[in-house]
Structure 1
Amino acid sequence: MARESESVRHAGGRFASVLDAGDAASHYVPDNEFYSVVAAILRETDWTEPWLVGLLSFHVFNVIVALFARRHSTFQATYFCVLMVLAYSTEHLNKWAVDNWQQFSAKAYFDVHGLFISTVFAGPLLLTSLLFVVVWMKTAADLLVKVKRAELRTRARAARSDGAQTAAGASSAGSGSQSIATNAESKKSQ
């Protein structure tokens, strides 16, 4: 276990050895193995380091912003784009961190494959972005229901007014013919 933890911390463990094998078929990592490597990384990380505390605070802040910005679609779209740009820049950030980890960290967490940074930086960003997408889908569903109800109300009003006009037209047509007959009789009697 200690040997596996050491290799996970410094070289990405079994995940890195699979990727180092070279051929395209060796890049497949079974889900259970991937999750065990990620769990080992999370277990071996010293979460009291200031930069990791700041990173966790940043992710909590992102989730809070996503929850409180539910009714501000322009802000949501802008913030979503910012999160996507940050997730996209993960590869470049990892390259920098591999070379300069001594400046901000006590341990060399970063590997050339980017498993650590994907786990603690890009993964939470993508989950927060997914939260935005879920909020947008709920908003779209609510709007669809609202539009459909308005359409049904409009159809019901139109049907009632058409029914009332048809009934009024039929009764006025009937009373109109009666009034014509009454007028003709009154002219005869005069």
Structure 2
Amino acid sequence: MRGSFVARGSRAIEGTACVTRGQRTQIGATDLCTLSDPKSVPPISLQPIGTTDFCYPAVTNPSSQRQVTALVVKNKLFVSNIDLSTSQIALKLVRMEEVKSAVEEHMDLMADLVQKLSSELRAGLRPAYDNFIGFFHAIDWKEPWLIGLAGFHIVLLLVTIITRRKTNFQMCLFLLTLAGVYLAERLNTVLRMNWKSFSSQNYFDPNGLFMSVLWSGPLLVIAMIILINTLFSLCYLIVRWKRAELRHRARIAHSKEE
């Protein structure tokens, strides 16, 4: 079989091909020549040497009288004119092909996994997003008591931030927020029975969804902020205590030396 193409690097060439001098291409540690099929040069027949991975003949280019080596590795033809043994060249090329195929399989697997996870995530989040939008539009945010509730949470958050260095006050505030979350169910029952006196519609369902979102949720967020601030304060106190201990040990050692 003769072709009218030129192959460089690792492009596949099936059947027989001709070796010419041509331009060189560097692949890994192997210096490869360009392959072509001029009519003046007879084709090279590649013969196997007992393995299906690669075969090679030692040939001489009639146009340049230059000794080269042709290799077939995994159905790909390579030509080398460097001072390396055929087994070394074949081993390098086989390893390159194995690494390339393993990387391609890994990338395909990761792409499929990411696509599957993204589709499942979109399918799971879409109903939750629709429910949240419906809940948001079902509430009349212009009612005075809702504005007062939002203002209460904002003021409580500001107090938490301003008093972040006062550990005792923060602990009292933390306990108050947890008490508010604990009493949310009873508060929801009382408000459900008396909603006509302050609201245009009954938001207080038996399951307590409204109270969980607009009362317990913000209180839990503020409680988490207080807890994180307390942990940072404890870490700072531990560092100060260790520094004081090291200074005390240094003074004792200095007094003993004197």
- TM-score of the superposed pair, with normalisation by structure 2: 0.48
Give 1:62 deviation, angstroms.
0.5
Aligned residue among 230, 236, 247 for 1:142: 236
Partner in structure 2 of residue 120 of structure 1 = 214
Contact 1:66–1:76 (8 Å) recurs in 2: yes
How many pairs were matched up?
A: 135
Matched, 1:42 2:136: yes
Single out whichever of 94-103 and 47-56 deviates more from structure 2: 94-103
Give 1:39 deviation, angstroms.
4.6
Aligned residue among 56, 60, 64 for 2:154: 60
Specify which structure has the higher proportion of helix.
Answer: 1
What amino acid is aligned across from residue 179 of structure 2 in structure 1? V
> Which 4+ stretches in 1 moved above 6 angstroms?
none
Q: How many Å separate the matches in 2 of 1:154 and 1:80?
A: 35
Give 1:123 deviation, angstroms.
0.6
Q: Which has the larger radius of gyration?
A: 2
Give 1:118 deviation, angstroms.
0.4
- Structure 1 SS opposite 2:194: helix
CA separation of 1:59/1:152 partners in 2, compared to 1, >3 Å: closer, same or farther?
same
CA separation of 1:108/1:38 partners in 2, compared to 1, >3 Å: closer, same or farther?
same
Give 1:91 deviation, angstroms.
0.1
Give 1:70 deviation, angstroms.
1.7
More relative contact order, 1 or 2 (CA 8 Å, 6+ apart): 1
C-alpha RMSD of the superposition: 2.2
Contact 1:38–1:119 (8 Å) recurs in 2: no
Partner in structure 2 of residue 157 of structure 1 = 251
Partner in structure 2 of residue 94 of structure 1 = 188
Aligned residue among 81, 84, 104 for 2:198: 104
Q: How many Å separate the matches in 2 of 1:124 and 1:44?
A: 20
Q: Deviations over 1:69-127 (max 9, x none)?
A: 12322222222222222111110111122222222111222211101110001110111
What amino acid is aligned across from residue 143 of structure 1 in structure 2? L
What amino acid is aligned across from residue 212 of structure 2 in structure 1? S
Give 1:36 deviation, angstroms.
5.0
Q: How many Å separate the matches in 1 of 2:168 and 2:219?
A: 19
Partner in structure 1 of residue 223 of structure 2 = 129
What amino acid is aligned across from residue 184 of structure 2 in structure 1? T
Q: Deviations over 1:126-151 (max 9, x none)?
A: 11111111111111011011011111
CA separation of 1:120/1:131 partners in 2, compared to 1, >3 Å: closer, same or farther?
same
Partner in structure 2 of residue 51 of structure 1 = 145
Contact 1:41–1:116 (8 Å) recurs in 2: no
Q: Deviations over 1:18-77 (max 9, x none)?
A: xxxxxxxxxxxxx84556534532343221110000000000010011111123222222
